[in-house]
Amino acid sequence: MRDMTARARAGLTARAPDASAPVDTRIRVDLAHLRSLEGKARKLRLLPSQPVSSVLNGRHASRLRGRGLNFEELRGYLPGDDPRTIDWKVTARTGSAHVRIYSEERDRPALLVVDQRMSMFFGTRRNMKSVTAAEAAAVIAFRVLDQSDRVGGVVFGDDHVSEFRPKRSRAALNRFLVALERANRMLRADAQSVDQPMLLNQPLTSVARIARRNHLVVVISDFDGLDQRTGTLIGALSRHNDVVLCPVTDPVSNDVPKNMKLVVSDGELQVELDTGTTDTFRRLSDFASGRIAEILKWQQKYGVPVLPLSAGDDTASQLRRLTGLRPEKKGRGQ
């Protein structure tokens, strides 16, 4: 049953944002804001060789594979060839030494999976989680293209999925950013609820179809609605690709405050949660910690690095810190 009076009190009857009005980039992103993050992407490291303090370093998680090798030809052994390249089966069959010639892959395509569902439209301190996810995707996309690698993505909401196959093109990157902006602008407090919000499994299935092997797959999501199949899909992807998980959380979910009343709504119905009640506090705390615990299980089981992002801090600064870089020096007057 709809409570229109309550919706008005909670500010849920507001009109859709005016495209011509200034954008508060803590609440939603626009194309100009996403493009402005290109400078923040410089020096960010997504390659196999990582600083010691990076969570992508082998001491913390499995090393990234980097570019692979493509088989080119089989030919007779010549003086100066590396003996390790000798194909002993062909040599035994033909009676003369043969070597296998490989060339390094020209690039290492990246696929960024970005969650823009209503569960991401939440924030208590700095950003909405949806904004942090979009900013992280933009920073990583710019860095990948700067490395002369192909970049693509899967942007999804509660009822839509947009796929962009990896390309080494500024125009293709711009189309990805436009899709991010469009999906982000669809998130509104008065948005009509969806009967069956999309699970993460559907976008991951799309990723499996696109990234069959030797891709860098970065999943940026709050991982709402994960289940056993989600873990199976992550494991399957990690067997032939480098998978990096970026769980996006809000500070309030990491440390549920006591004695606080929260009004939560899906745009149609709303409920008041009182964390002063022991049972409510316990359930909220268990829910938040349980989701992260499941992701950390995947880290141990499949060897996938986890880069946790908080909507309460600057996105680019977090990515720099997580990949082992020193904080950027602030200019005068900052």
What is the tens place of the pLDDT at every residue in 284-310? 555 566 678 889 899 999 999 999 999
Residue 43 makes CB contacts below 8 A (sequence gap 6+) with 320, 325
Contact 247, 221 (CB under 8 A): yes
What's this model's pTM, rounded to 2 decimal places?
Answer: 0.73
Q: Which structural domains are found in the chain, ordered by start?
A: 4-9+23-63+108-322 (3.40.50.410), 69-104 (no CATH)
Distance CA 152, CA 180 (A): 12
Contact 127, 136 (CB under 8 A): no
* Tens digits of residue pLDDT in 322-332: 877 666 665 54
pLDDT over 90 at 314, yes or no: yes
- Going by C-alpha positions, the residue among 181, 182, 151 that lies closest to residue 167 is 151
The pLDDT of residue 178: 97
More confident residue, 83 or 210: 210
pLDDT over 60 at 59, yes or no: no
User: What are the phi and psi torsion angles at 188 (to 5°)?
Assistant: -145, 150
- In three-state secondary structure terms, 325 is coil
- Going by C-alpha positions, the residue among 124, 163, 303, 134 that lies closest to residue 221 is 134
More confident residue, 204 or 256: 204
